[in-house]
Structure formats: structure tokens, C-alpha cells
Structure 1
Amino acid sequence: MSNLRVTLVLGPSEGGVGRHVRSLAYRLSQEGAAVRVVGPAATDDRFDFSSHAEFVPLEPTSLRDLWRLRRRLADADVLHVHDHVAARAALAVPRSTPVVVTWHHPLPTRSLSGRASRALASVIVRRASVVLGAAADLVEAAFALGARDARIVRVAAPELPSPTRTRSQARTALGVAGRPLVLALGALVPAKRFDLLLDAAAVLMRRDALPPLILVAGEGPERERLNARIRRERLPVLLAGRRGDVPELLLAADAVVIPSDWEARSTVAQEALRAGVPLVATKTGGIPDLVGDAALLVPPGDADALAAALVEVLEDPEVAARLREQGPKRAAEWPTEEDTALDMLRVYGEVTGTSV
């Protein structure tokens, strides 16, 4: 497929979707495809798509930009749009252009805007040649909205570089040499439920033992509200902002926590298990199928259960040792980034009628 012209479109992204598209752009280019990435200029600043592909700075939410996008996409052999905002670009290409849609997150279901989003999504999935869902419930939702073909997609988290410090050095740098450290990673947005993590931190403070420091690496619109509560209640939580030293943070951590209401193939879960760090996560979306019994799972929205699972990991050496051993074994069963790119090439081959 050395002559295949692939256009990847994404909307605003701070994390997993942008990293996935960057990985695809690089590996598809390595396979000989001519790759173009379309998205907000800020995504190229963050993920450096232009080092691997042509980058077109356009905002998929703008009708004017969608019209400009139509002119720029006239030569695409296949359009691959990622998530709901970017999926609007499917309406900006000729009917003859095959469209692949990947859903990484569920549609909003409440409020007037949620109903409007579902109506638009129904039009888009009926237009798509294939809808790929990062979790089984996303595939079911696509079929319910009228998709002709919907499948699970195996989204592999990009491999992190090796740490540049020892565990002792990493912990000393963070000021937690003699204290348990719990790490949370992700955008500070409501769906990630860092407010629930603060509830769990308050539960941990009521115990006699020294509570762990909970370090949250990420940025987003919830920062001010979360920080105000942390200060008011003197919670043992540090909002550390966007970090470039995630391998060192994982090395220093005694546990990783994911309190989200919903996740697909969580990149954070993949990073934690690969690194052999015990994981506590909510039992939701694609997480159970992803981690199996290599993590402690708790019901979404239950701060007491979240706190109890963290205590179990931090204070029971046998539980921690089991999770540290099982995590990398489970991770070895997952597809690699190369596997994911080859899966995409096979899908592109199907929708364009060409061979891989």
C-alpha cells in the first residue's frame, strides 16, 4: 500500500487520542503510506505530528474550516477520523471517499447538546465504511445508531522511554523518600473523576497511618476547583501539572490510581502494568478486559472502595507483589503499536479495495 494516501483527523487532545494518532502517523509513514494529519494547531505543538506527516492546522468544530477541509481532502484515498468532534470531517468529503471512524470515548447522553451530538453521530456512522470502538460498549452504541460495520480496535499505548534515574533518586526528587506515593495521570476534566480521588484522600486521612501523597500529573479546566478543595481540606494531594517525566513518576510510585467514570483501553492502565506498578482502577468500560486480574478494580463512584483498595495495595506486601508480577505478564499479551498500525492498514485495504 505504498501509494495509499491517508488523512487522519482529530479534535482537541491532551493525551491518549493525540498520542495514538501520532503513533499511527509515524508507523503508517514507515509502511510507505502518504499521511496527512488534520487538527487544531495546538495538537501539533503538543504531539509534533509534522515530524512524521504533513500537518494541516484546522479546527474540525468550525463550519468554515470544514469547508476548507473539503478542498484539502480531495486527494485522500481514505479519511480516518478520531472521536466525535473530529468525526464531523466525515461530512466534508465526497461520498466516494471511504471513511473510517474511531471512537475512543462515549457520546454525551444528557442535556440538549448530548441529544444533538447523538443525532449528528447517527448521520456520521451511517456515512462511515467502518466504525472502530476502543471498548465493546462503543461498538454496541455504533450499531444502535445505525452503523453498517462496527468493530473493536486494539489501541496500543505508545511505549514510554526508560527512566533516567533510579527509584531512590526519583523518590528523593519528589520529596517522598519515606512516604507512600500514589500516582494519577490524566486531564483535569470531570469524566476523569479526580473529585472522587479527593473524596478517597479524605477517607485515607481519617486513618491513624500517615496517608500517602497522591500526585496528579495533568492539566485541565478542573484545576482551580480541585486545588481550592485541596487547600481548604488540607488533603495530601499535589496537582503537579503536565509532566514530561512520566517514566520517573511511574518508577517512584507505589501505586497508580484511575478513578474515572469510564475508560476505554486506558493508556494509563497500560503504562502502569507495563512498568509493574500496582494499579487500582474503576471497573468500567474497557478496563476489565484490558487488565484482567492484574489490577484491583472497584465500582465507579465509590470513594470508600477506592480508598480501601489503595490501602490494600500499600499495606499488604503480598497483594502488591502479586500485582507487580502480574502486570508485565498481562501487558505482554497486548498488541504493540506496530500491530495496531497493521490492523489499520488491513481496514484501509478493505474499505479502498486494495491489498495490504
Structure 2
Amino acid sequence: MGERRVIHAITPGDHFSPRTGSAVPTVVHLLADAAVRAGDARHGVILDRTTMSPRYDGVDLIEYDRAPGVTRNGHYLDAAAGRLGLLRPRVAQWFTPLADAVRALPEADVLAHNAPILPRLLRGSGHRVSIYAHNQLFRTYGPREADRIVGEAAAVICVSDALADETSALLPRAQRSKVAVVENPVDTSRFSPASQRATGSRPVRVLYVGRMIPSKGPDVLARAARAFGPDEAEFVFVGSHEFDPNAPATPYEQEVRDLALASRATATFLPFADRDALPALYRDADVLVVPSVWAEPSGLILGEGMASGLPIIASRTGGIPSVVGDVAVLVPPNDPDALAAALRELIADPADRIRRGEAGLRRAEQRNPDWAWARLRALLERI
């Protein structure tokens, strides 16, 4: 990688801790660990000092004091400024302490995670800045603003082919060549299959893991549960509205619980579980369901399920198909009847569950953190 090391710039307020289930810190941690195993320089992480502890180790932490965040009205005003071809002043003010912390460091490959403004703020610093897109970042950008922002970046790194295609369609033609794909790593060291799964001693255990919000679709699974009796399946929902096990249930969460508990099948609800608690929950399950309603760009839960040897039923939307390939059963999003039918077929065919679980494990092992870091390192060496 030459003289440049990698610096990850995490959005102000985002955490770098195993206590959160957020994708960005998890991906950064896995890539940084893989770099050390490969004999490359330790990565740096620029982090708001007020964020959650403990932090992941294996990186050089550079902390800063963040500025006040941007209000909803501020985002609207910034979007209006962007359409006029101006810098978004409130977002710029929010990111300036982070940019100042990066500017003080030796020249590096800076990965701006979900921070498209950072290449502009670091112009002239000597750093080579790439926008790392975990979600769609350019939906509110007009052509002139997108051209200016991406023109300052070395690359726009997307976490799936679907996200890359959507991003390219929103960018001016002259900037589309900067879009690249580095799919998320699968944490194959933390997640692994159970040594033996229960067969016939209890109903098939169906697992949902994720935030309890409408876009993740837990209500779709709760509606599908009504098609099953107590001897056929039991449903375990793991998650809270936020990454906080003590957060009170929202009206939507209560709706999901009411739907699931109205079914004849057993339904259990557990709060958010941190990354240390998750592996055991996967090992105790028989099927993982990812019923996302929105166009999920990637979805770490899919990789965790595959690494745990679980057969998966997931929505055919966003980047999900590219993550699971042909090892999962894909159903239309927001279709409880289709989900119930797919689940019934898996419940009735233990051999297919085993086959899909083994295929998913092989796919997870192929997409481990060393694989992902090798792809990212090769990209950084090309740009």
C-alpha cells in the first residue's frame, strides 16, 4: 500500500463499539483487523470522543470534539443550498471538527463513511479521500452538486452491486467511473454453526434479528406467523427500536408483538443484543428470516446467518440477492403470505434446511474479512 495508511472517518455521533449493532463500525472493525493479519499498517479511526465505550481495539483512535448536529430544518435548508450549487453550510459546520482532525494527520487514504461532504472539506490537504457509501447518499443531490462533490473524491465505494447501480444512476455521467463495489465482510470468527441442531425435539425455531422499525419488516414476519400452529414453529424476535436493550417499546413494536402473540404459534420477544450475545441466539435457531421492506443495501445479518449455518428466507430487494446468491430463499417484500409459504416449505424439508445452511456457510467463508480487505486494498492501490 506504499506510504499511505488507511483512515476511517466515522460520522459524528456514530459509535465504534461492539455494543452497537450498526453496520459501519462493524465493517470498519473487520476490515482493520484483516489489514493487521495481512501485515499492512494499522488503520486509524477518527471518532467523536463522546461516543460509546468500550471501543473496538486493533486501530489507532483519533478523537475530536464534535460540533452540534444538524436539525431537520437545517437539512432542508442545506438541500436547498446544494440545489443552487452551494456548499451545504450546516453539514459542513458539523463535519469541520472531524475534517480538522484528519487534516492534522500525515497523508492517508481517508474513507469517508456515509460522509460525501468530506472530500470537499479536505481539499488541498494531501489526503486521498473516498466516499464509502453504506446507504444511498445522493438522493437529495442535484446534478451540479453531485458533480462537484464526487469530483473531489478519489472513488465512491458502495457495499453492493445494487447500491452501486442506484448511485451511478444519480451521478453525472462524467463521475460514474468512480463508483466501485466492495461488499461487506462476513464475521466468520465470531459467528459459527451450532455443533448440533435440534431435530424433532421442538418446533422449528424461526429467528428475526434487527431493529424493530417498519423498514426492517418484523411486522411482515409477525403476520406470517399466523399461518402456523404451536407444534409447527416458534418465532423469536430479537431487537429494539434503537441499539439499546433498555429502550421502551414504541407503538410500532407493540403492534408487532400484538400481531405475533395473536398467532397460535409461540412468539418470544428479546431486546437488542450486542455482538457478544448474538452468536448464541443464531446457534439456537433453525431458520433466519430477513423480511426487509426497504431496498436494504447489504445487510450484515445475512452474513451472520450464513456463517452460523442457518437456512435463510429474505426479501428480494436492494442488495440482499447479491449477498446471499442462490443459497437463500427469496420472497417478495411486504408479502406475509409468500413468506409463510416459503417458511412452510423449509419446515417440511429438513434436508433442504441442512443443504441451504451448508451452502450458506461455504459462501460466508468465501466472503470473510480477509477477502473483503484484499478487495478494498486492491481498489485503493488502483485509484
Bigger share in helix: 1
Aligned-pair distance for 1:297? 0.6
Contact 1:184/1:215 (CA < 8 Å) preserved in 2?
yes
Assess if the C-alpha contact under 8 Å between 1:160 and 1:247 holds in 2: no
Q: Which residue of 9, 20, 24 corresponds with 1:17? A: 24
Partner of 2:88: none
1:66-215 counterparts in 2 under 5 A?
66-74=95-103, 75=105, 76-83=107-114, 86-95=115-124, 96-107=126-137, 109=139, 115=140, 123-144=148-169, 145-146=171-172, 147=175, 148-161=177-190, 178-201=202-225, 203-204=226-227, 207-208=228-229, 210=231, 212-215=233-236
For 1:280 and 1:256, the matched residues in 2 are separated by: 6
Which residue among 240, 256, 276 is the counterpart of 1:219? Answer: 240
Q: CA deviation at 1:117?
A: 9.1
Partners of 1:275 and 1:229 in 2: how far apart?
29
Cα distance change of structure 1 residues 149 and 163 upon mapping to structure 2, 3 Å threshold: closer
Paired residue secondary structure (2:271): strand
The size of the alignment, in residue pairs, is 333
Q: Alpha carbons of 1:120 and 1:256: their partners in 2 closer, same or farther (altered >3 Å)?
A: farther
* Aligned CA distance change for structure 1 residues 164 and 132 (closer, same or farther; 3 Å): closer
Say whether 1:335 aligns with 2:361: no
Inter-partner Cα distance in structure 1 for 2:45 and 2:291:
32
Q: What is the distance in 2 between the residues matched to 1:292 and 1:164?
A: 19
Greater shift, 303-312 or 123-132, is seen at 123-132
Identity %: 23
Q: Work out whether 1:285 is the aligned partner of 2:321.
A: no
Answer whether contact 2:66 2:98 (CA < 8 A) is retained.
no
The offset of 1:232, in angstroms, is 3.6
Residue of structure 1 in register with 2:306 after alignment: 273
Report the more deviating stretch, 290-299 or 116-125: 116-125
1:258 maps to 290
Cα deviation, 1:55-89, whole Å, max 9, x if unaligned, reads 32555856445222232222332211122xx3333
Q: Is the 8 A contact 1:17 1:104 kept in 2?
A: yes
Q: What TM-score do you get using the length of structure 2 for normalisation? A: 0.75
**Distance between the aligned counterparts of 2:343 and 2:66, measured in 1?**
41
Q: Could you tell me whether the CA contact under 8 Å between 2:45 and 2:59 is conserved in 1?
A: no
Aligned to 2:18: none
How well do the aligned residues superpose, as a CA RMSD in angstroms?
3.2
The 8 Å contact of residues 79 and 100 in structure 1, kept in 2 or not, is answered as yes
Distance 1:43 1:230, change over 3 A: same
TM-score, normalised via structure 1 length:
0.80
Contact kept in structure 2, 1:25 and 1:53, CA below 8 Å: no
CA contact (8 A) 2:30 2:185 kept: no
Gap change, CA 1:225 and 1:58, over 3 Å in 2:
farther
User: What amino acid sits opposite 1:217 in the alignment?
Assistant: V
Contact kept in structure 1, 2:241 and 2:253, CA below 8 Å: no
Unmatched runs of 5 consecutive residues or more in structure 2: 16-20, 70-90, 243-247
Q: Indicate the SS of the match to 2:296.
A: coil
Amino acid at match of 2:344: V
> What is the letter of the counterpart of residue 318 of structure 2?
G
Contact 2:134–2:159 under 8 Å retained in 1: yes
8 Å CA contact 1:36–1:55 kept in 2: the answer is yes
Asked whether the equivalents of residues 213 and 252 of structure 2 are also in contact (C-alpha less than 8 Å), the reply is no
Gap runs ≥5 in structure 1: 110-114, 352-356
Seen in structure 2, the aligned counterparts of structure 1 residues 188 and 117 have a Cα distance that, compared at 3 Å, is farther
Contact 2:130 2:154 in 1 (8 A): yes
